Amino acid sequence: MPDPLSEILKLTAAIRFIYATQLEQLRTEMSTNSLDQELKIEGHETVSNLIKAYDNADRGFLAPLEMERSSRVPVMVPLGSLTEWMHSDSIRSLLDDFRSVDPDGASFLRCEALHAEEESIARTYLFMDISIKTKILAFFTIGTSHMYVPAFETLSDDVMCSLNVSLHTGYAPTYLISHLCTDTNSDVSLSALFDSAMSMIRCSWKTVGCRLIRLDCSDSTIGFFESRGFTFIRKNDDKDLNQMLYVT
C-alpha cells in the first residue's frame, strides 16, 4: 500500500516554494471572521480611499514574485489533499498540535478550516515540515468575498465598470486573504505566507479575472500590507481591524 505522505508530496510537488527565513519574522493577528465580514464603501472617506486604491492599481500583477532562497524548504500542502490521503484521526491530530501567537487563527484551523474546505467556502494551504516529525509550521486561507457600494455613493461609471461593481446590486466580487498564521515554533515569515497566498490568487486571476483582493489586518501589520500595495479603506464594524484593498 502506498505511503500516504509520499503520495501527498508527489501530488504537491508542482507547487512547492522556497521561502524567505532571513526576513523579519512577523507574527500576524489576522481575523478569523473575515469570511463573514463585508467591505462597505460608505461615506466620503471610504469613497476617497477606494479611489486611491483604484489609482494605485498594480498593472504589473502578472509579474512573478521574487522569493529569497534559504536552506530550509517546507512543503506547501493543500488541506483538501490531506483529506484525500490521510485518515481523519491523523488530520485531526495534526491540526490540534498547531499552536500560535494568534489564538483566533489556531482556533480556525482546528475548528473551522475543514468545514470551509468541504463546503468550498475557502481553501487552506499548510506549510509542513516532514524532516523529523510531520508538523504544520504555518498556514494561509484564501477565498472569495465582495465589496458593497450603496446606490447613494456616487462613483464614476468608469470606476464602477472597471471594478466590476454591479449597477443593479452595488456588489463587486473580490478575492479574500482571511488568514496568515504561523506556529509559535516556526520561522516561516509573514512575507513567505503573504507571497504564497498572492501567488495562488494570481493563478486564479490569470484564469478567471477579478481585480480586487481584500483582507482585514491589525494595526501592527498595516504598514506591511501597505508596503505590498494594499490601501486602507476603513475600520471593520467592530473597529478592531483595518479593511484593506488591493486593485490589480
In 3D space, the residue among 38, 49, 34, 36 whose CA is nearest the CA of residue 153 turns out to be 49
Taking each helix axis from N to C terminus, what angle separates 103-111 and 88-96, rounded to the nearest 10 degrees? Answer: 170
Beta bridge partners of 148: 40, 171
Beta bridge partners of 145: 174
**Domains contained in the chain, number:** 1
pLDDT in tens, the chain (248 residues): 555 555 545 444 433 432 333 233 334 445 445 666 778 888 778 878 888 888 888 765 555 445 444 445 578 899 998 888 888 888 889 999 999 988 889 999 999 999 999 999 999 999 988 776 788 999 999 999 999 998 777 788 888 898 999 988 999 999 999 999 999 988 889 999 999 999 999 999 999 999 999 999 999 999 999 999 999 999 998 898 999 999 99
For cell 475548528, the residue is 111
Query: How does DSSP classify residue 130?
Result: -
Predicted TM-score (pTM) of this structure:
0.78
- Cα distance between residue 205 and residue 214, in whole Å: 14
The whole domain housing 92 covers 4-247
pLDDT tens per residue across span 173-214: 999 999 999 999 888 899 999 999 999 999 999 999 999 999
Q: What is the CATH number of the domain that holds 54?
A: 3.40.630.30
